Structure 1
Amino acid sequence: MKLIKNFYSSKVGLLPTLVVFSTLLVIATLFSVTLFFGNVLQKVLENQIGNKALAISKSISFMPEIINLVEKNDPNHELQKIITTIQQSIDAEFIVIGDENGIRFSHPNKKLIGEHMVGEDNNRALIYGEYYISKAVGTLGPSLRGKSPIFNKKGEIIGIVSVGYLEDKVKTIVDEHHKQLLGYLYIALFVELLVATLLSSKLKHSLLGYEPEELSRLFMEKKAILNSVKEAILAVDQYGKLTLSNDVANYYFGLNNKSITLPLELQKYLLSGNEMRDATIEVNNIDYICNLSPIINDKQTIGMVITCRKKDEIDAIVWELTHTKQYAERLREKKHEFSNLLHLISGYIQIGEYDKAIEIISENHLPDERIIEQFKKMINDPVVASIFIGKYYYAFEKGVVLELDDNSSIQEIIHPSISKHFVTIFGNVINNAIDAALNSEIKKIKLFITDIGNDIVFEIEDSGKGIDEQMIEKIFEKGFTTKGEFHSGYGLFFVKNTLELMNGFITIVPSNYGTITSIYIPKKVEI
């Protein structure tokens, strides 16, 4: 068993594996045949030989000449000659005729004539008149015998006929048949090895030359790769039956291990067999960007593969890239502006106009480091402080004044499962406030944040033109924007969805000269 386990766990090719296990199977078959069919064959042959011996003994017991001589006690010893002649024409080892007392009239060994028959198996014939087969040890050794009583014309038992075959001869016959059967099995073993070789070659060709352990590894790698990507991946056969799906696809389309069909919206594209790139497909009122590719074998389409991603997610990525690009452009502009400013300062220094150089440096061209220190002192959470400081620099570059309310305070470190969403929430809301302030004369926004109580409360007030109360609910819709075609309208949509995930909420109300946005986030929430 250990040898088989080691062989199975080792890296053995398909051909040796099939040959070894097929050989073991045939050997096991040979062994079982030797034990089981050998015993069955022996019993069958013994039964046939016994019936043959009984049939011969019956025939002899019915012969009138034999009956007459036995009834007269064979006065001239004629029975021995008659039986010898009969025995020469058949293959029985012995034919013995006895009287009603079991005294022999004939025997292969003439010296035993006149003596009592041995074996103690004559009573059923001599007493009860039965015809039967028995096994006993006689003068010639263990034998299989057919016993028949001899009746006279009055129906009286006057003698017995015993026809026997020695067990050694029976065993020889069984062995001959057994060898013949084993010969057929050895031929079957050779044929099995040949078939195993051809089958393994055929299987390996069907498996594209891969060994089973290689296919197993490829399958595990394929499963890991499929579930590592963020796109939904599906595969179907030529009838539209699902053959493969990754975890993302199961989540998108509500599939499970029992699902074999796809939504109807996808089936009509998959059954077409046409390749498609970046196609927008609506499933259950959700837009997906999909790519479809046919699976081709021998110039025939045997299935389709489709990859999908929610359009919202792709739009969000595009929005982030666009925003990053715009921010990079602004940085380049500020770089040139700051470079020109340095050149001007350098020029004043070189001509000796130090007062003017100092005056330019003292102007509001650089961020106030004291405000940065204020952020660090009042906000102990590094994530919130980093976001606010980053937005302070961003607002400064845009020409907007960003102030932190003196009553603001974050005393505790916020759990990472919550703070990881602050970039989306605070970043979008502060960016909107900066954009709104740009369109006003004051160009100012004010922040307030506190973690007193069970919630994190964030409030931002801008100096913009405000917002129409009828549009407050609409601004949270996906794709809605009032900033023009260069903005996606996904910022507040993402903010609201993220807050709902965290059991928080957002309110927007007009102020005296702008808009006040308030956000409430529970401190303890499982996401």
Structure 2
Amino acid sequence: MSSPRRESIAELQRMRRGRPRRGWLMRSFRLQVMLLVGALLAGMLLAQGAYLNHRKGEIISDQIGQRALAVALSVASIPELIAAFDDPEPSVTIQPIAERIRRETGARYVVVGNTEGLRYSHPLPERLGKPMVGGDNDRALLHGESYVSEATGSLGEAMRGKTPVLDAEGNIIGIVSVGFMLDRVAMDVIEHTSLGWWLVALMIVLGFAGAYGLSRHLKRVILGLEPYEIARLAMEKEAILQSIHEGILAVNREGQITLVNQQARRFLGLPPVHAVVGQPVQDIVPNSRLLEVMERGEHQFDQDMWLGDHPVVVNRVPIHHAGEIEGAVATFRSRREIVELSNALNAASRDVDMLRAQAHEFSNKLYTISGMLQLGRIEDAIALIHQESAHQQAQMTFLMKHVGDPVVSGTLLGKLTRARELGVLLEIDEQSSLVEPLTVTGQEVLMTVIGNLLDNACHAALQGDRHNDEGPRVRLFFTDLGEQLLIEVEDNGPGVPHQHVEAIFQEGFSTKPGKHHGIGLALVSRLCRENGGAITLEESELGGACFIAVLDRSLCRPPSTGEDRPLQPGTIGR
């Protein structure tokens, strides 16, 4: 057993020891199972044993009756006994014959009587010549039947076989009654059925022992938890699954959906759970790739994919049980939140980079001015100061004049400083203009689009293989004249190979080495599509790539509200 599993079991057992006490019957699942299974087995065995032993007792009683009748028929067919009925004293001949047969057969009595019911034989000689007792002789004496009956005679209750005695002409001349006492019959029944009852008792004991073992096994399987604890854990698990911020989708080995939480339904736009569970995942979420995970048995972590128009980050893992893959589960979270956080971090990072670049640049300038002053070249130092001030003022003046949004101005100023630090000549076309202020969404979109395109262009310009003295160069043009916003960024880098033109805007694809690339252009392409535009790739006049992004003009603020007044020139410097 793995260490995490041992820790989880230990945690469940600690929770079980610390749970509140309940009634003994509610508390002990093992006792409940043992009593329920044991009582069920005992009831079944007792019912079956009672029925079988009852039938066995009936069979034994019937056999004893048939035995008594068979003895009576044998006695009634003895020629000497039949001939003795004509003797003056029939009992002299009949009594010895009857007693000999009684002793040999184990019967309680063998009584022979005439048609009037007077005894010719009896176990007690003093009762010879007296009437037979019981009142059950009519069927034999009057109708000539042979039968078994139960009646109370002079010796007590007995099971008796009775048959008529016939002469040579077939006339009824007497009756034979062979009896076995009912208490003896009951003792025989008990003797023959006692083993069955002992077996029933043994099986009940074994049943309770098996129920005890089953209850222990079940208790161990469910980690020592009680049913109400399992129910509570199930409800807690369901609440957790439905409340977490990540979407969860699980399938079984047949590829049928077994679990989908509320967040997953929201992401995927699925119908209610009862209409989804049990359906093939390929019919509901064709690009889930869970079947692929089950087929290969491999884990997939932090995979980017699109669910409709929603970017998500997906983790997919197979479910193993006893060495077999029983299913797979996918968890996914919205990438828009990650992108929003990334944009915020990128904005902060750009500000930091701009300040760091400015600090680095001005530190070098200050060292240069300090050296000139120490050398006594004051006029050269003043000229350098005026030159730098004029350059900065020219950039500020251009941005204040041609860019009416402070966020875009700040982005461009930071990119100019960053490009200068990288050794890239970043040019902004003099015909560029963005005089209308932007909405909050427009600021985020343009900041992302311009920032990513300039970053990629600077990187490409640095990778260029140039055979002349021209250094890395990037040119930017933007305008809000007309019905759309137009942004054009070109560089003098190596350009985009023809085989990559179709894939350059796909998420995860990048010509840069290493990981964590292939996001910027895909993000720019998606933002352009979502805002009524598009992005295209052309060959640059500078020799590299030229990206043209078009956005809808609705990103600009309408000029009717007071807060949409054009930006005053002093805003950037504050």
TM over 0.5: yes
Change (3 A) 1:63 1:288: farther
Change (3 A) 1:466 1:262: same
Does 1:193 find its partner at 2:208? Answer: yes
Does 1:153 find its partner at 2:168? Answer: yes
Measure the CA separation in 1 of the matches of 2:348 and 2:215: 62
Contact 2:117 2:132 in 1 (8 A): yes
- 209-218 vs 125-134, greater mean Cα deviation: 209-218
Measure the CA separation in 1 of the matches of 2:297 and 2:445: 50
Secondary structure of the structure 1 residue equivalent to 2:240: helix
Pick aligned residue for 1:303 from 322, 326, 332: 326
Match of 1:431 in 2: 440
Pick aligned residue for 1:25 from 19, 40, 61: 40
- 178-187 vs 230-239, greater mean Cα deviation: 230-239
Contact 1:436 1:465 in 2 (8 A): no
Measure the CA separation in 2 of the matches of 1:174 and 1:436: 100
Does 1:278 find its partner at 2:302? Answer: yes
Change (3 A) 1:295 1:144: same
Does 1:320 find its partner at 2:344? Answer: no
Pick aligned residue for 1:290 from 314, 320, 323: 314
Ranges in structure 1 where 5+ consecutive residues have no aligned partner: 334-394, 401-428, 439-463, 472-478, 497-507, 519-527
Does 1:85 find its partner at 2:110? Answer: no
Change (3 A) 1:156 1:290: same
Match of 1:176 in 2: 191
Change (3 A) 1:467 1:277: farther
Measure the CA separation in 1 of the matches of 2:531 and 2:138: 110
Match of 1:262 in 2: 281
Match of 1:452 in 2: none
Contact 1:296 1:303 in 2 (8 A): yes
Change (3 A) 1:20 1:515: closer
Within 5 Å, give how 1:494-513 maps onto structure 2: none
How far 1:17 moved relative to its partner? 3.1
How far 1:41 moved relative to its partner? 3.4
Does 1:103 find its partner at 2:118? Answer: yes
Pick aligned residue for 2:153 from 127, 135, 138: 138
Provide the alpha-carbon RMSD of the alignment.
4.4
**CA offset digits 1:407-446 (Å, max 9, x no partner):** xxxxxxxxxxxxxxxxxxxxxx9414668999xxxxxxxx
Within 5 Å, give how 1:351-370 maps onto structure 2: none
**CA offset digits 1:285-340 (Å, max 9, x no partner):** 87653212233456x34334322436xx32x213432454467679999xxxxxxx
Does 1:165 find its partner at 2:180? Answer: yes
**CA offset digits 1:383-415 (Å, max 9, x no partner):** xxxxxxxxxxxx999999xxxxxxxxxxxxxxx
Measure the CA separation in 2 of the matches of 1:137 and 1:489: 112
Contact 1:131 1:147 in 2 (8 A): yes
Secondary structure of the structure 2 residue equivalent to 1:271: helix
Contact 2:315 2:332 in 1 (8 A): no
Does 1:40 find its partner at 2:46? Answer: no
How far 1:269 moved relative to its partner? 3.1
Within 5 Å, give how 1:58-97 maps onto structure 2: 58-72=73-87, 74-75=89-90, 77-97=92-112
How far 1:280 moved relative to its partner? 3.8
Secondary structure of the structure 2 residue equivalent to 1:106: coil
Contact 2:251 2:281 in 1 (8 A): no
Change (3 A) 1:181 1:510: closer
Q: Look up the equivalent residue of 1:227 and give its one-letter code.
A: Q
Q: Look up the equivalent residue of 1:277 and give its one-letter code.
A: F
Secondary structure of the structure 1 residue equivalent to 2:314: strand
Q: Look up the equivalent residue of 1:270 and give its one-letter code.
A: M
Contact 1:143 1:167 in 2 (8 A): yes
Q: Look up the equivalent residue of 1:271 and give its one-letter code.
A: E
Q: Look up the equivalent residue of 1:261 and give its one-letter code.
A: P
Measure the CA separation in 1 of the matches of 2:113 and 2:341: 118
Change (3 A) 1:283 1:82: farther
Within 5 Å, give how 1:363-442 maps onto structure 2: 430-432=439-441
Contact 2:147 2:163 in 1 (8 A): yes
Match of 2:28 in 1: 12
Q: Look up the equivalent residue of 1:70 and give its one-letter code.
A: F
How far 1:123 moved relative to its partner? 0.9
How far 1:185 moved relative to its partner? 1.3
Change (3 A) 1:12 1:509: closer
Q: How many residues align?
A: 374
How far 1:62 moved relative to its partner? 1.5
Ranges in structure 2 where 5+ consecutive residues have no aligned partner: 1-21, 354-404, 411-437, 448-478, 487-506, 508-519, 533-550, 561-574
Measure the CA separation in 2 of the matches of 1:105 and 1:495: 127
Change (3 A) 1:320 1:509: closer
Contact 2:258 2:278 in 1 (8 A): no
Measure the CA separation in 2 of the matches of 1:248 and 1:93: 90
Contact 2:439 2:557 in 1 (8 A): no
Q: Look up the equivalent residue of 2:303 and give its one-letter code.
A: A
Change (3 A) 1:198 1:30: closer
Contact 1:144 1:165 in 2 (8 A): yes
**CA offset digits 1:4-36 (Å, max 9, x no partner):** x9665x11042x333322332344245535654
Match of 1:125 in 2: 140
- 108-117 vs 146-155, greater mean Cα deviation: 108-117
Secondary structure of the structure 2 residue equivalent to 1:154: coil
Measure the CA separation in 2 of the matches of 1:470 and 1:327: 22
Measure the CA separation in 1 of the matches of 2:32 and 2:229: 14
Measure the CA separation in 2 of the matches of 1:37 and 1:163: 29
User: Percent identity between the aligned chains?
Assistant: 27
Measure the CA separation in 2 of the matches of 1:327 and 1:287: 21
Contact 1:71 1:158 in 2 (8 A): no
